[in-house]
Every structure is written in C-alpha cells, then in structure tokens.
C-alpha cells in the first residue's frame, strides 16, 4: 500500500550538511570512516529495511506477539532480523573494535536504526535492547561476564533486556523490591517480579540476558540501595551448554500498538534457583543504568521520529493519488462539471501534510543533534569541550525524548485525518502508526518525568551553565541567519522567543528559590511544550540557513527545489507552531495555583 | 475494571441548573413532562446502561463485528439492545405522539443517548441511525412509506441507515453516481455502491431500511441532482412478508476503534432487481438529508463528549487507587522511607485529570446548549424567537461536532497517560477509548469541512446576524459574572478574547472581500480551534456563575464541594486553555500564505 517509509535524501542532508557529520570524522576514533563508506553502510541498511523490515510491519501488527503455554510466540521475522542484523554489524556498530564493534559514530547508529524503525517499529527494539544491555556489561561488568555473554548478544543469537519496573513501583524506582541474596559461589540468588519487559522472552532466542535491578539484602532504602545483575534466562552449565536459570515468563502484556514487539512479565527465582551476577559494585546499579539512559532516551525520540516520518510518507502518497472535491474559484464556489482535484491541492490537506513534515524532519534533526553531542563528548580530547557537549546533551535529552513522542503523535493523527474514513480503517497503515506511537510518551520516563527533569534538574544544573551554552548556540544560529535578508525576520522572531523563555524561566525558578518546589514543578509539562517548541524553531532556522547558503553558493548536492522546500517548511513552522509559545508563556506565568493538591475536593 | 463511566450528577446539573431545561417545559409540546418524570426516565436509562451496555463495551471491542460468508456478524448484545431500546421508547423518544414518540425535548434525548454512549459507544449507533432514517421518512416520506417502515424501525425490529458516501466521491457529495431509474410501478431501480455504511447489515435485523442518495437518470450535475430513496434490504412481497431486494453486503471495514459497530460496503442492484422509493420530491435529497444534519452533528459531538467522560472516569478512578512515588518536600527532595502517595496527589496527574474534566464537562455543556437551541427553535411560537435560536444553532453546530471530537481525543490521550504503561495495555479500557474516539473528527464531515462551514458559511450568514446573536449571549453571561467579585477577572478576560475574535474575523474576512476565497478558508481549521476555545470559555464562565449563585443563595441541590469544584474547573480552563488563543490569533493574523497550492514543490 504505502510505498515509502522514509525521506532518505532528507536524512542524509541533515546528517552531512546540517549536522556536519564529516567534521566529526576527523577525530581519531573514526579515522577508518569517510562519507563514502558511511553512505554505503546506510544504503545497505536501507536495502535491508526495504527487504526484511517494511514488508512485515502490518503483518506483525495483525499477528501480535502472544503468550501461549508458558511461552511467548513472536513473528518468525524476529529470528531472521536479529541474526541478519547481528551479521551486518547493526547491533555492535558503535562499540570499540576490541569489543567487536565498528567504532561508528552514534550519529550513524542513530541514522541506521531510524531507517529500520521507520520501516518497522516492532523489530529494532529486539536488537537495540540487546545492544543496550551488552553495553552495560562491556562498561561495568568483569571479564568473565563479558566473555560469557557479550559476543553471543552482539551476533544476534542471544537477546538482552533491561529489567527495571516492578508491579508495585511503576516509575518509582526507589520502591523496587526484587531481592539479591549473596552466596559463597560468586553469584547472588535473585527473587522478584518484573513487568513491562520488552523483548523479555520468545521462542527464537537461544538465551536472553536480563540486566536486572535488585536490592542486596540489607541495602539502604531508596535508589541508593539498588544493584545491577546479569540474570540470564539460561545459565552456563559449566560443560559448555546451558541450563534453565529459574526465570519464568508469567504472562505477556497485550497492547494497543507495537504489537509485534513482545512485552512480558517475568518472575525470577520461583523455585529459589535463579542465579545472578553482580555488575560492577553493589548499590551502584541505578548509576550504571542511568549512564546508559541518555542513549535510551535518544532511542525513544528516534523511534517516535521514525514513526512520524513513516506516517507522513504514507499520507503524502495518499494525498498525491486521491482525487476528491474541487478547488474553490474566486467567487467561493465550486464547479461540479470540473474534474476532481487531488486532495493534496486542498489547503487544509497541505496544512496537515506540512505539519507532519515539520514535525517529522524537525524531530529527526533534534535526535541527530543529540547524537552529535553524544559523539563529541565521547570523542573530543579537550576536557572543556567534552564538558560543553556533555552539558548540552544533558540539557536537551528530555526534549529529545519528549518532542518526537508528543508532537509526533499529533502529526501522525494529522496523517490519519488526511485519509479521512480510510485513515481509521485497518486496511491502511495510518491507524497502526497512530496506535504504535502512543507508547513513546510513556517509555523510559513519561513526559511528566522528562519535564520535571528538564525544568527541575537540567536548567539549573551547574548554576545554569548548560542553559548558557545552549543560548550561545542558538545566538550563533541567529547571527548566521541574520546574514540573509529572507531569513532576518525569522531570526529576529527566534531572538524574541529566547528572551521570552528567559522571562518564563525566571518566573518559575522564583518558586524554587522560595522553597516551593511543588509549585515550581507543577507546570513542568507545559514548560516542556513551550521550551521544546522554541528549540525546534532554532533547528528549523538552522536548516533554512544551510539551505539558503546552498542555494546562494550553487551547491548542487541537492536540487534547488529541495532547498526551497526546507525554507518553506521553516516558514510554516514559524507561522503555525512557534506562535503557540505566546499562549504557553501566558499559561506558565499565570500566578494561580490549581494543580497542587490541597484541602479542596476538585474532582467532584 | 473501571466502575464508572459517567458523572450523572454533573449531567443533571448542566441539564436543569445551567441550561434550565424546566423553562422549556412550559412550551405546549412538553406539557406532559416535568422534572420528576424526566428524571425517572433518565434514571431508567442509566440503570439500563449499567446493566445492558457498560458490561459489554470491552467484550464488543475484543470480538469485533466482522464479515463472514456474505453476512455481517455482530455481538449478540446488538439484538438485545435494539429491542429493549425500542421497548423503552429510547428510539422514538423525541418524535410526536402521533408518530409513536414521547415528545421528549431533544435535550433529554441527548442526555439519554449520552448516558448510553458513555457506557458503550458501539451500541447506540444502531438505534440512533435507525431514528435518523425513520425521521427522514416521517418528515418527507409519503403515507405508504411511513406505514410500511416507521413502526418496525421505532420498535427496534428493523434497523435504518444513511447511505451517502461512495468510493470515488468520499466527502464530495456532488460526485455521487448511484443511479435511480424510474419504472411505471411507483418505484425506481437503484444501482450503485455505498461505503462506510454504519450498521449497514447484521444477522439480527429482520430488515434494514437504507436511506440512499442517488441520481435520477438525467438529473443535473452536482449536488442539485441528488434525490433520496428508501431502499430496504428486504422489500414487502405484497403478501405480508418480505423478499430480498437485491442489496448485497460486499464487504465490511475493519477499523481501529468502535469495533463493535459494524461498517459496511453495500452494493445495490447487482442483478437489476433493487427497488427504491422516492422520498419527497426529485433532486431535493441533499436538502432533506441536510435538514437532518444538525441532529447528526449534535450526535457526533455528543458521542465524543461521552467517550471523553468515560475515559475521564476510568483514569480518575485509577489515580485515586494507585499509589506511586512521593510528594516533594520543601527542599525538592523525596524521602524513600515515607509511604508512597496516591498518584492523584501529583500535580502533573492532577493537571491531566483536570484537563479531562474541563473538556468532558465543557463538551457536554456545549452539546446540551445545541440541543436546547434545537428545542427552542422547534417549540417556540414567536417567529423572531424561532429564527434567533435557529441562527444560534446553525452557528455553533460545526463547533458542537468538532470541539468534543478534537479536544476529546486530546483529553482521552491524557487519560491514557495517567495510567502510564497500563494505559497502553489491552487489559485497561483507556486504550480502547483512545482508539474509539479517533473516528469522531472524521464522521459526518471532517474537522476541515466543519471549519470551512463555520468560517466560510456560518459566520457570514445573514450578514453576520448569527454572530451578533452569539456575541449578545456571551455579553449577557459576562454581565452576570461581573456581579461576583471572584468572577470579575475571568469575565473581563472573556471580554478581551471576544474583542480578539472580532479582530481575527475582520482580518480573515478581508480575504473573502478581495475575492481570495482560497486564502480566506485556508486557515479555517486553526480558526475553529481558536473560536471554539473562546466559546468554551463562555460556557465555563456560565457554569461558574451558576455555581457561585447557588453557593451564595444556599441552594442545596448539590453540595458546596460540588459547586466549588465547578468554579475550580473554570479557573483551570482560564489558566490552561483560554490563553492558547493568544498564539492562535497570531497564527491566524499572520500574512504569510503557505498552504495554498502554487507552483513551488513544497513536499520535497
């Protein structure tokens, strides 16, 4: 039905032109890569996604992963995908050579996974969590753990998971109760329940390596008493084989979307024979997990951006093929004897498509920017520079996770609307994307949690240094844009909004200074909307500036049409999205306190 | 799981106190009803919905209507529901006594159907379309058609449908091609295809009476050549029985939501034996259909408002039962040794619940207001008064259809978010409501079409008279609110926004005056958002004024808590929703033209 799931040209444009990947390749770590080799890599990922991912996206939704006779049954493509992805280096890609990786920049790993997720958002989760859990072992585990588990994970033979959530605790990790009892044999006995474990079990994995947060007996209360363990589904039997490790799949979760991606409820140690191996030091589990969290949050934003793009492509194609209605003539009437027009010619349909375009491309640009900061902080040598990009990354990460998830969902809903009644019908894929994307604002810390992280932690971090750095980056973009007459107006508008943001932040921080933290954070979510809308305006101005430059310098990497469409999209963003921050600022600077619980019963 | 699906007290409060249903009962048509008898009626509907509708809402989603061996199979509760609803007078309620009705005000029919839809949004469609099609026959059909079809429809034995959409035409009714060929036997031969026919076929209906739009051979092109026909699935055989009428169910549509409500593709006259009877005069079909359209659009808004309420109730209950996390102390920290708090105590959760509350109750208030205007225009005797309420109804109807659908979907999505990961899981009903409500902004004229109707037709209607009338109504509410010190601030704000609306309308109408209709209407949808946000602010001010009055006069109909919660909700609306109109006005008064199709390729 839908032929395209991605705008590959725009992906490469953002990667190489706007975010200047090549400048990164000068760093020692990436010396074996150049634009040509990386493009060959991305082309192979695209070809792989065309062949092995996109054709199964609907089929996997219609035949969801499910729990049967104690086993989780997933689509057979999960097996094909994991092994081929392992072979192609798609799992290990960004790791060091010595860990079995290709030392790819995270920017390229992001682009690669983005392509896969746009093609089929149910499959890449299986490899990405495997990568994430292998990374934890590589960074913090001892040699034995590394040798035993990592190679099989990176080859796609064994899966990996992150086991955080428990039924009684939800997002509140300080309330975890899964127990680890030391033994004299180098392992701990693990017992407890974990829920919402993505990729937690299926019939094709010879083994699944769970990275489990648990509390060693006698550990302090709260988040400071949590340790990290490797708990395989099957443990080495000492004779080169595997033996069951008392990890039970209790049930699965049937879901509204991402139905091809299994979500499980696991029980550890039901018969007191579940062995776990400590990763790193006791009580530092949450620290380790959180060191990986930036990657995980980029991944969520990336997945949401990918679905947004796929939905945009599907609805764009529909609008370019479907004739319906007529254009208005100058007297406001329509002539029924005229031929019908393609719906893409109706302004309201164009508005919905352009909204999708600015969200899809803008979200992608944000995700790539975060990946770039990640690469810079990892690969640069100068400690001051490392710190700079580390702070910038920390500051934007809650937006990277949230903007694509929240605005992506709105964009996809516009995609459904473009198709009218067909958008609601199972024969068309838009309704699936609408269901699939809904999880992203919940994954890995809900929007509410991200928003509190942004306002309550990141803005104030190191006396506001991260915010100063970001402001400087934005000012630099404004300066550049100011050089072009066509862009001056927009650059000026962004400058105004930056001032407005300062004012809003000052107002809100006032509550923190008075010790009223609950009030300070009570509007964190509207603040997230406000601040990420401005951040996106910055990214769009930057895209437009690059495009303008390319037109003026006669750069033929892309067609003139292509560059002009980017400038048009920026203008659309500045007309239809950025002004929303005016109302948002009013909301945020309103003195009334209406959502802090008090004596009054407000839910009558 | 969820125990409640409705706030029955608020429904009655809006009905009797805010919208003053009793003043309507003075009209002759309603003389047999009083508050007590109507309450008994509503109580019986609630009891019926508790017993026969709500328990099946999830089951019907999980066992969707489907097409098998040429037949549409629906849940058995469809049969139980239709017949009991017929017996209870729930189908015929608002009709005249002589037509078999109870002469109920539309306000009561709205309240009754709202209760049913909140309980189970898949079932009431079957009776409501039956009512709508019976109404068309009653108003425009001859005696024979009335006698043959209407009684069986009102008793719930025969279903009824509206057959408008065709595959090649979608929303563009002027492109309908279904053909009606006259015969000498008093009927026409019908041939053509109709899609998206809700309730179009199922195993329990002894007969289904389709009201079909078709073109009599030689009719003018466009909407002026469309006639309306009664085309039963089975026609009378002249011997007191029925014989098949060559209406084929070709297929059904599987959908993302409302899966218990069948949607069919019908073929008429495949073997040239499909008989249809003209309703009223030739070529007036669309007029007849559109005379019913206000009712249909109230119905869509009502259904969306009902789902919004059900989702609010389900997430409110969850938030009141689920303990997770801790409240922040004054140093911004949490104490892990403290007991967990209920999530309803977290400001962000309260914000999401309050948003749901203001949308659910505000949307209901809007739907009831439209029903009241409907009743007034029908039952008042004075022609000037009739015209007044008719104009007011015409003006608000596109908002009545759109606001509950669009903002309801956003509210329901907030309900999903309140549940976190569980919101996405099939075990909980929020995900179903999220899928179900998505169709409402498409049903009966999409949001884009409603928005063009509002801006392009209704605002300018009779030289802007409807808008003047609405402005006067709003000014009256502002005056009333101004009497109370606590409400002055909000009344003043609404006054400002009314001025802003005038300014925006003036700006947009400027394009129409210059003959640039395409530009005039290109931002109709953002205008809809803007104007309905202000309209809702009016309704909330009115609710707050009534509550304030009740508190001050010591009215004990409801508890003081109840009245205060309404004032709190109004304040929430004025803090978190109304300010959005500032940004929306900026969008609408921006000179740039970015969505009108031109030479530039903007979708590169």
pLDDT in tens, A279-308: 999 999 999 998 888 999 999 999 999 999
CA distance linking residue A193 with residue A164, whole number of Å: 10
Q: CB of B242 within 8 A of CB of B207?
A: yes
Task: Using a pLDDT cut of 90, give the percent of chain B over it.
Answer: 92
Provide the pairing of β-strand A188-198 with A275-278: antiparallel
Q: Are A409 and B409 within 8 A, CB to CB?
A: no
Which H or E run includes B189? strand B188-198
By Cβ distance, the residue of A254, A345, A581 closest to B597 is A345
Quickly state the pLDDT bin for A11 (edges 50, 70, 90): very high
Q: Are B348 and A600 within 8 A, CB to CB?
A: no
Quickly state the pLDDT bin for B186 (edges 50, 70, 90): very high
Model confidence at A315: pLDDT above 70: yes
Q: What ipTM does the predicted assembly reach?
A: 0.97
Q: Are B431 and A256 within 8 A, CB to CB?
A: yes
Q: What is the pLDDT of residue A225?
A: 94
Task: For residue A159, give the nearest of A232, A252, A80, A235 by alpha carbon.
Answer: A232
Quickly state the pLDDT bin for A169 (edges 50, 70, 90): confident
Q: Are B447 and A417 within 8 A, CB to CB?
A: yes
Residues 6+ apart with CB under 8 A from B286: B173, B213, B223, B224, B226
Task: Using a pLDDT cut of 70, give the percent of chain A over it.
Answer: 100
CA distance linking residue B516 with residue B132, whole number of Å: 38
Residues of B in contact with A526 (CB under 8 A): 576
Q: Which residues, numbered 349 to 388 in chain B, qualify as contacts with chain A under a Cβ-Cβ cut-off of 8 Å?
A: 349-351, 353-354, 357
CA distance B137 to chain A (A): 27
The dihedrals phi and psi of A425, each to the nearest 5 degrees, come to: -90, 140
Q: Which residues, numbered 19 to 78 in chain B, qualify as contacts with chain A under a Cβ-Cβ cut-off of 8 Å?
A: none
Q: CB of B568 within 8 A of CB of A594?
A: yes
The single residue listed with the structure tokens 């509204």 is A256
Please give the distance of CA A406 from its chain centroid, rounded to a whole number. Answer: 11
pTM above 0.90, yes or no: yes
Farthest-apart Cα atoms in chain B, separation: 88
CA distance linking residue B602 with residue A357, whole number of Å: 10
Task: Using a pLDDT cut of 90, give the percent of chain A over it.
Answer: 92
The dihedrals phi and psi of B257, each to the nearest 5 degrees, come to: -145, -175
CA distance A181 to chain B (A): 22
Q: B387-403 b/e with 16+ CB inside 10 Å = b?
A: ebbbbbbbbbbbbbbbb
The single residue listed with the structure tokens 């996206």 is A57
Residues of B in contact with A336 (CB under 8 A): 174-175, 221-223
Q: What is the pLDDT of residue B497?
A: 98
Q: Which residues, numbered 229 to 268 in chain A, qualify as contacts with chain B under a Cβ-Cβ cut-off of 8 Å?
A: 253-257
The conformation of residue A179, written as its DSSP 8-state character, comes to E
Instruction: Kindly state the tokens that stand for B181.
Output: 């060929």
Instruction: Kindly state the tokens that stand for B245.
Output: 């009428």
Residues of B in contact with A525 (CB under 8 A): 348, 351
Q: Are B517 and A603 within 8 A, CB to CB?
A: no
Angle at the Cα of B435 from the Cα atoms of B431 and B439, rounded to 5 degrees: 160
Give, in order, the Cα–Cα distances in Å from A167 to each of A466, B337, B351, B426.
Answer: 36, 19, 24, 16
Q: Are B336 and A221 within 8 A, CB to CB?
A: yes
Q: Are A595 and B417 within 8 A, CB to CB?
A: no
Chain B residue with minimum CA distance to A563: B604
Provide the pairing of β-strand A207-216 with A227-232: antiparallel
Q: What is the pLDDT of residue B170?
A: 75
* Model pLDDT for residues A489-506, shown as the tens digit of each residue: 999 999 999 999 999 999
Q: CB of B340 within 8 A of CB of A167?
A: no
First-to-last C-alpha distance (Å) of chain B: 48
Q: What is the pLDDT of residue A330?
A: 67
Give the DSSP letter string of B334-374. --TTSPPPBGGGSHHHHHHHHHHHHHHHHHHHHHHHHHHHH
Residues of B in contact with A423 (CB under 8 A): 442
Give the DSSP letter string of A218-230. TPPSGGGG-EEEE
CA distance A472 to chain B (A): 26
Give, in order, the Cα–Cα distances in Å from B427 to each of A46, A316, B59, B106.
Answer: 36, 34, 11, 36
Please give the distance of CA A37 from its chain centroid, rounded to a whole number. Answer: 26
- B contact test, residue of A317, A328, A412, A584 with most B CBs within 10 A: A328
Model confidence at B325: pLDDT above 90: no
* Model pLDDT for residues A571-582, shown as the tens digit of each residue: 999 999 999 999
Residues 6+ apart with CB under 8 A from A16: A22, A35
> Does the CB of B603 have a partner CB in chain A at under 8 Å?
yes
At what angle are helices A524-553 and A580-588 packed, to 10 degrees? 150
> Does the CB of A516 have a partner CB in chain B at under 8 Å?
yes
Q: CB of B588 within 8 A of CB of B523?
A: yes
The single residue listed with the structure tokens 């009644």 is A421
Residues in chain A: 604
Residue B499 DSSP SS3:
helix
Handedness of CA B97, B99, B104, B105 (dihedral sign): negative
Model confidence at B1: pLDDT above 70: no
Q: Are A597 and B170 within 8 A, CB to CB?
A: no
Q: Are A559 and B521 within 8 A, CB to CB?
A: no
CA distance linking residue A220 with residue A224, whole number of Å: 6
Task: For residue B376, give the nearest of B32, B98, B29 by alpha carbon.
Answer: B29
> Does the CB of B167 have a partner CB in chain A at under 8 Å?
no
Instruction: Kindly state the tokens that stand for A175.
Output: 């309330």
Q: Are A171 and B223 within 8 A, CB to CB?
A: no
Chain A residue with minimum CA distance to B584: A580
Residues of B in contact with A596 (CB under 8 A): 347, 350
Instruction: Kindly state the tokens that stand for B542.
Output: 């009115």
Q: Which residues, numbered 301 to 330 in chain B, qualify as contacts with chain A under a Cβ-Cβ cut-off of 8 Å?
A: 316, 320, 322, 324-330
Q: Are A424 and B171 within 8 A, CB to CB?
A: no
Q: Which residues, numbered 80 to 139 in chain A, qualify as contacts with chain B under a Cβ-Cβ cut-off of 8 Å?
A: none
Which H or E run includes A208? strand A207-216
Give the DSSP letter string of A512-537. HHTT-HHHHHHTHHHHHHHHHHHHHH
Q: Which residues, numbered 393 to 452 in chain B, qualify as contacts with chain A under a Cβ-Cβ cut-off of 8 Å?
A: 409, 413, 416-417, 420-421, 423-427, 431, 434-435, 438-439, 441-442, 446-448, 451-452
Handedness of CA B321, B324, B326, B328 (dihedral sign): negative
* Model pLDDT for residues A116-155, shown as the tens digit of each residue: 999 999 999 999 999 999 999 999 999 999 999 999 999 9
Residues of B in contact with A345 (CB under 8 A): 597
Please give the sequence-ordered ranges of beta strands (E in DSSP) within A26-177, or none if there are none.
Answer: 66-68, 71-73, 158-163
Inter-residue long-range contacts of A240-244, CB under 8 Å, 24+ positions, other chains counted: A242/A206, A242/A207
By Cβ distance, the residue of B425, B562, B569 closest to A254 is B425
Query: B248 pairs with which residues across the strands?
Result: B267
Give the CA dihedral A443, A448, A450, A452, nearest 10 degrees.
-160
Instruction: Kindly state the tokens that stand for B375.
Output: 């009743």
Q: CB of B439 within 8 A of CB of B257?
A: yes
Task: For residue A109, give the nearest of A395, A375, A331 by alpha carbon.
Answer: A375
Q: B152-182 b/e with 16+ CB inside 10 Å = b?
A: bbbbbbbbbbbbbbbeebbbbbbbbebbbee
Task: For residue B373, give the nearest of B554, B114, B62, B106 by alpha carbon.
Answer: B106
Report chain A's mean pLDDT, rounded to a whole number.
96
Chain A residue with minimum CA distance to B603: A565
Task: For residue B201, give the nearest of B154, B248, B143 by alpha carbon.
Answer: B248
CA distance B440 to chain A (A): 10
CA distance linking residue A263 with residue A443, whole number of Å: 12
Chain B residue with minimum CA distance to A337: B221
Q: Are B515 and A330 within 8 A, CB to CB?
A: yes
Handedness of CA A59, A60, A61, A66 (dihedral sign): positive
Task: For residue B126, give the nearest of B97, B94, B90, B93 by alpha carbon.
Answer: B90
Quickly state the pLDDT bin for A405 (edges 50, 70, 90): very high
Provide the pairing of β-strand B207-216 with B158-163: parallel
Give, in order, the Cα–Cα distances in Å from A439 to each of A122, A275, B245, B551.
Answer: 12, 32, 48, 43
By Cβ distance, the residue of B256, B426, B448 closest to A255 is B426
* Model pLDDT for residues B557-603, shown as the tens digit of each residue: 999 999 999 999 999 999 999 999 999 999 999 999 999 998 888 99
CA distance A453 to chain B (A): 12
- Span of A243-247, A323-327, B142-146 with lowest mean pLDDT: A323-327
Q: B308-345 b/e with 16+ CB inside 10 Å = b?
A: bbbbbbbbbebbeebbbbbbbeeebebebeeebbbbbb
- A contact test, residue of B170, B309, B410 with most A CBs within 10 A: B170
Q: B437-465 b/e with 16+ CB inside 10 Å = b?
A: bbbbbbbbbbbbbbbbbbbbebbbeeeee
By Cβ distance, the residue of A169, A174, A351 closest to B525 is A351
**pLDDT average, residue stretch B266-285:** 97
The dihedrals phi and psi of B31, each to the nearest 5 degrees, come to: -65, -20
> Does the CB of B165 have a partner CB in chain A at under 8 Å?
yes
Quickly state the pLDDT bin for B330 (edges 50, 70, 90): low
**pLDDT average, residue stretch B326-342:** 79
Query: B194 pairs with which residues across the strands?
Result: B266
């Amino acid at each position: 039905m839908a032929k395209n799931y991605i705008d590959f040209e725009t992906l490469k444009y953002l990667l190489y032109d706007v975010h200047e990947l090549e400048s990164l390749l000068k760093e020692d770590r990436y010396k074996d890569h150049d634009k040509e080799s990386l493009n060959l890599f991305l082309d192979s990922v695209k070809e792989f996604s065309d062949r092995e991912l996109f054709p199964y996206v609907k089929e996997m939704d219609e035949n969801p992963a499910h729990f049967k006779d104690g086993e989780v049954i997933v689509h057979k493509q999960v097996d094909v995908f994991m092994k081929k992805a392992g072979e192609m280096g798609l799992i290990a890609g960004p790791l060091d050579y010595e860990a079995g990786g290709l030392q790819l920049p995270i920017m390229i790993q992001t682009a690669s996974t983005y392509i896969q997720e746009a093609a089929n958002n149910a499959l890449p989760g299986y490899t990405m969590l495997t990568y994430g859990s292998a990374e934890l072992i590589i960074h913090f585990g001892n040699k034995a753990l590394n040798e035993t588990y990592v190679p099989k994970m990176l080859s796609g033979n064994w899966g990996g998971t992150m086991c955080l959530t428990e039924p009684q605790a939800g997002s509140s990790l300080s309330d975890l109760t899964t127990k680890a009892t030391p033994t004299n044999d180098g392992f701990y006995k693990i017992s407890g329940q974990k829920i919402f474990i993505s990729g937690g079990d299926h019939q094709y994995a010879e083994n699944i390596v769970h990275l489990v947060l648990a509390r060693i007996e006698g550990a302090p209360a709260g988040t400071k008493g949590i340790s990290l363990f490797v708990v395989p589904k099957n443990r080495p039997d000492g004779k080169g084989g595997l033996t069951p490790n008392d990890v039970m799949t209790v049930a699965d979760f049937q879901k509204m979307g991402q139905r091809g991606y299994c979500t499980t409820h696991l029980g550890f140690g039901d018969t007191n024979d579940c062995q776990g191996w400590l990763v790193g030091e006791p009580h530092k589990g949450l620290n380790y997990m959180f060191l990986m969290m930036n990657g995980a949050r980029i991944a969520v934003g990336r997945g949401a951006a990918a679905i947004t793009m796929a939905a945009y492509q599907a609805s764009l194609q529909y609008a370019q093929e479907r004739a319906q209605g007529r254009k208005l003539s100058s007297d406001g009437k329509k002539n029924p004897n005229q031929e019908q027009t393609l719906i893409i010619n109706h302004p309201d349909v164009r508005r919905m498509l352009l909204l999708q375009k600015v969200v899809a491309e803008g979200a992608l640009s944000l995700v790539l920017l975060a990946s770039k900061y990640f690469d810079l902080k990892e690969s640069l040598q100068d400690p001051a520079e490392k710190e700079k990009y580390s702070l910038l990354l920390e500051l934007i990460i809650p937006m990277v996770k949230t903007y694509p998830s929240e605005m992506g969902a709105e964009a996809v809903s516009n995609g459904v609307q473009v198709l009218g009644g067909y958008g609601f019908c199972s024969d068309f894929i838009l309704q699936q994307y609408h269901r699939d994307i809904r999880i992203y604002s919940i994954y890995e810390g809900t929007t509410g949690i991200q928003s509190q992280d942004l306002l309550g932690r990141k803005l104030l971090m190191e006396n506001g240094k991260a915010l100063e750095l970001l402001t400087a980056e934005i000012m630099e973009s404004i300066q550049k844009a100011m050089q072009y007459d066509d862009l001056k107006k927009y650059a000026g508008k962004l400058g105004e909004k930056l001032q407005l943001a300062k004012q809003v932040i000052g107002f809100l921080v006032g509550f923190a200074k008075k010790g009223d933290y609950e009030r300070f954070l009570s509007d964190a979510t509207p603040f997230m909307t406000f601040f990420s809308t401005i951040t996106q305006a910055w990214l769009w101005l930057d895209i437009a500036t690059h495009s303008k430059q390319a037109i003026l310098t006669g750069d033929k990497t892309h067609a003139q049409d292509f560059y002009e469409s980017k400038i048009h999209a920026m203008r659309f963003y500045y007309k239809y999205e950025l002004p929303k921050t005016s109302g948002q600022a009013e909301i945020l600077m309103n003195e009334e306190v209406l959502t802090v619980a008090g004596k009054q019963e407000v839910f009558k």
